[in-house]
Amino acid sequence: MSDDRPDFNRRKELPAEVPSAPQAPAPPEREDTPRLTGRQRLAQGLWPPRVTRPQLIVALLLFVLGLGLAIQVRSNNDSSALRGARQEDLVRILDELDDRTQRLEEEKRRLEEQRTGLENSSDQAEEARKQTVERERQLGILAGTVAAQGPGITLTIEDKKGAIEADMLLDAIQELRAAGAEAIQINDVRVVAGTYLSDADGGVRVDGRKVGAPYLFKVIGKPQDLEPALNIPGGVVQTLEKEQATVTVERSEKIVVSALRPAKRPDYARSSSQ
């Protein structure tokens, strides 16, 4: 009698691995696919842009540098007040600069001579006393505590329409000082280093004192330097004439600046020399 029961001890045979089918080759490109031109490939490479951090830093530095150069060029163009000036005006301005340099050289030479005199004088105490007196006189002129006289100019400003303001007179003072003015008087007020100007009804206040038109400037200095400084293109005279003021500049061999300022004793400052 045959045994039809399954044999559980019989090993189950696994089917052999079926080799994988080879992959089919990629289908060839269709002939009707459009090819990109060189310009199109370049455009795809540039856009969208791939910006690295070093490239961004370099671009930022170049932008800042270009902005600085543009500002510098514009500043140089705007500050050129002498553009369009005549040749003779430019020559006159150069002469004025040469005169200023010469004045500084003369002052340097004078101080060197004073030092040499102190070093070589047989009576140094007497020489020092003389120079002290001379220095005191010079400082008194600059401080406005003593009267002064010498060559210079008078500047007269007629302002019938009342258009002259304090800043215009201040520009005239600064221009005169730059040209070597040693003593200045406006009407009956002495102008010194600490002088201030402000607008007032019907005139201008100089150090708190009201002065009105006509404004009379008495200026001691080298006339050949003072007058051209006021008449340069775009300078004081042209600015005042634009306000319909009448300006007159006259040279003189003797200008007397008689207005005085009281000597003010300092409350706290004392000499450090013992």
In a domain, 10, yes or no: no
In a domain, 94, yes or no: yes
**Tokens 């930022």 found at:** 60
In a domain, 56, yes or no: no
Place 241 in a pLDDT band, splitting at 50, 70 and 90. very high
In a domain, 89, yes or no: yes
Provide the number of structural domains found in the chain.
Answer: 1
**Chain Cα centroid distance, residue 62:** 25
In a domain, 2, yes or no: no
Which domain range does residue 243 map to?
84-262
In a domain, 109, yes or no: yes
Task: Give the domain CATH number at 150.
Answer: 3.30.70.1880
34-87 confidence digits (pLDDT tens)? 676 777 776 666 666 666 777 777 777 888 888 887 777 666 654 455 666 677
In a domain, 274, yes or no: no
CB 96 within 8 A of CB 225: yes
Percent of the chain with pLDDT over 90: 34
Terminal-to-terminal C-alpha distance of the chain: 148
Please list the residues that pair with 209 across neighbouring strands: 206
192 contact partners, CB below 8 Å, separation of at least 6: 142, 143, 144, 261
99-124 confidence digits (pLDDT tens)? 778 888 888 888 888 777 766 665 66
Question: Does the pLDDT of residue 205 top 70, yes or no?
Answer: yes
Residue 21: CB atoms within 10 Å: 6
Indicate the SS3 state at residue 71.
Answer: helix
Whole-angstrom distance, CA of residue 245 vs CA of residue 163: 8
In a domain, 21, yes or no: no
Query: What is the 3 state secondary structure string of 59-77?
Result: HHHHHHHHHHHHHHHHHHH
20-35 confidence digits (pLDDT tens)? 555 555 555 555 556 7
